Structure 1
Amino acid sequence: MESDCKTIPHWLSKKHLCSNDDLQRVFGVTRSTIDRWAKERPGFPRKVRLGDEHGSIVRFYTSDVQQYLSRITKA
């Protein structure tokens, strides 16, 4: 089920980058849904890969998540 939040929660607002787990918690969806949205939804926050060819982690800019939430709640 998708969350009806208009802004990011306070616990997330203190972070510059957020994880897939953070987005799952904010939107109330699974990791596969986050991955699908990242591919299919225009304007969904882009993934930021941190690391090198030997290993990396995926994060999202918290400011991009906030902007996205603002746009989808106005629609």
Structure 2
Amino acid sequence: MSDTNTSLPKWLAHRRYCTIKDLMRLFEVSRATVDRWHRENPQFPRKHKFGNPFNENYSTRFIVSEVNAYVALVEGDRAEWTRQFDPVDPDPSIGSNDDTNTAPIPSM
């Protein structure tokens, strides 16, 4: 498998499918939150149902590559969002270890 799942933890990166519980663990949210994100966010990975949906004997899975793409998108958005709060021209005298800005201590 290629190293395309770099945003995901090791316990999830080498799988092909994952469960809702896996997403709950990954994002540290409740099942209701995962369901709401799925319903309200068109970029959130789609649910895939395996089994016989006619008698409700199926399991729901997410494709890990789609989850990885979503995580990368969210991380990129977060980086872009936080970049707007970075100082454009920080004051170089703040936080420097240069002693030239301090007044000399008078001798007694």
Fold-level similarity (TM above 0.5) = yes
Q: Does 1:71 align with 2:73?
A: yes
Structure 1: gaps spanning 5 or more residues: 1-5
Structure-2 residue corresponding to 1:3: none
TM-score, length-normalised on structure 1? 0.88
Cα deviation, 1:44-69, whole Å, max 9, x if unaligned, reads 00000011122111000000000000
**Larger Rg: 1 or 2?**
2
Deviation at 1:7, TM superposition (A): 1.3
Where does structure 1 differ by over 6 angstroms across 4 or more consecutive aligned residues?
A: none
* Higher RCO by CA contacts (8 Å cutoff, separation 6 or greater): 1
Query: Which letter does structure 1 place at the counterpart of 2:37?
Result: W
TM-score, length-normalised on structure 2? 0.62
CA distance in 2, matches of 1:72, 1:13: 17
> What secondary structure does 1:8 align onto?
coil
CA distance in 2, matches of 1:13, 1:7: 8
Deviation at 1:36, TM superposition (A): 0.5
Structure-1 residue corresponding to 2:46: 46
Cα deviation, 1:16-62, whole Å, max 9, x if unaligned, reads 00000000000000001000000001210000001112211100000
